[in-house]
Amino acid sequence: MADQSGPASPAAEPAKPAKARAIAVLGMHRSGTSALAGSLAESGAYLGKVLGTSIPGNRKGLQEPESILFMQETLLQANAGSWDNPPSKVEWNRMHTAVRDLFLESREGFEPWAFKDPRTLLTLEGWLDARPDMALCGIFRDPLAVAHSLKRRNGFSLTKGLYLWQAYNERLLHFATTRSCPLIEFSTQPDAMTERLAKLVTALGLTPPPAPEFFDAGIPKGTDDASAPPAEIAELYEQLKGLALG
C-alpha cells in the first residue's frame, strides 16, 4: 500500500513569552535591583523620571521614582515600621492608594513600563490589588555581601543586615513560588551577570540589547568574609538559588 501519511509537518516553534505590560522589580536593598531596573530600561521598558547619578555608593543611580520611594516609606511608617524595620503586615490607606493610582495613571501609554523600589517587597499586595496583571521579576544577592554593604553604607551591625536580608528575601521566595516571578542571583562577574540579565529580560517577553551597557561591575564592593550565615538564612539562600535562572 502506498504511503499516504504525506509530508512531515514542520516542528512547531516554541511559544514566545507574552510581553509584560507593567513590571515590578523585586529585591532587597544592596542586591542589584538598580542594575536590573536599568537593564530593563535598556530592553525597552519605560522607567520615567528616576533618581539618577551622583547617588552615594551607586554612581549610575538608584533607578527609583522618588515619589514612590517617599510614598512607600511613609506607608511603612503608617504601619509602625520602616524600610529597615519591616512591619509584619502593611495596610494601605486612602492617601497612599491615591498616590499609587496617580503613578499608575502616569504610566498609561508607556507600555511596557517598570518600576523599582526595594520597599515594594513589603507592600506588593497593594500594587497587585490595583494591577493584578503586573509582571514580577526579582534579584537576590549573597546574604553576607548584603550585610557588609549595609554596614558600610548605614553603619548597621552584620546581625541586623542579615536579619533584614532574611525578612526581605522570605517575601521574595513567597512571590517566586506563588506567582510567575523569574529570579536571578546578582553577580559581580560581568559575563555571568550579562547572561542572567538576558535570560530574565527574555522571560518577560522583552528583547535584551545586543550590547548592554548599564551593568557596571565596578559599583558593588565584595567581601572577603568567609564565615557562614545562620543556618536558616543559608537555607533560604539555597532555596532562592534553586529557583534562579542560569
Give domain status of residue 99, yes or no: yes
Q: What is the mean pLDDT of residues 40-61?
A: 74
Specify the pLDDT at position 19: 85
Give domain status of residue 173, yes or no: yes
Whether the per-residue pLDDT at 12 is higher than 50: the answer is: yes
Give domain status of residue 14, yes or no: no
Whether the per-residue pLDDT at 2 is higher than 50: the answer is: no
**SS (HEC) of 194-223:** HHHHHHHHHHCCCCCCCCCCCCCCCCCCCC
Whether the per-residue pLDDT at 217 is higher than 80: the answer is: no
133-142 tens-digit pLDDT: 999 999 999 9
Q: Which three cell numbers stand for residue 65?
A: 521614582
57-82 tens-digit pLDDT: 555 557 889 999 999 999 999 999 99
Enclosing domain of residue 96: 22-243
Strands 135-140 and 22-26: parallel
Give domain status of residue 122, yes or no: yes
Whole-number average pLDDT of the chain: 89
Q: Which three cell numbers stand for residue 88?
A: 509584619
- In percent, the amount of the chain with pLDDT more than 90 equals 75
Instruction: Compute the chain's Rg from CA coordinates.
Output: 20
Q: What is the mean pLDDT of residues 229-243?
A: 97
Report the DSSP beta bridge partners of residue 55. 58
Phi-psi domain of 216 (left: phi exceeds 0; alpha: psi -120 through 50; beta: other)? beta
Give domain status of residue 228, yes or no: yes
Element (H, E) at 69: helix 66-78
Give domain status of residue 3, yes or no: no
Find the CATH number of the domain harbouring 222: 3.40.50
Total number of domains in the chain: 1
152-193 tens-digit pLDDT: 999 999 999 999 999 999 999 999 999 999 999 999 898 999
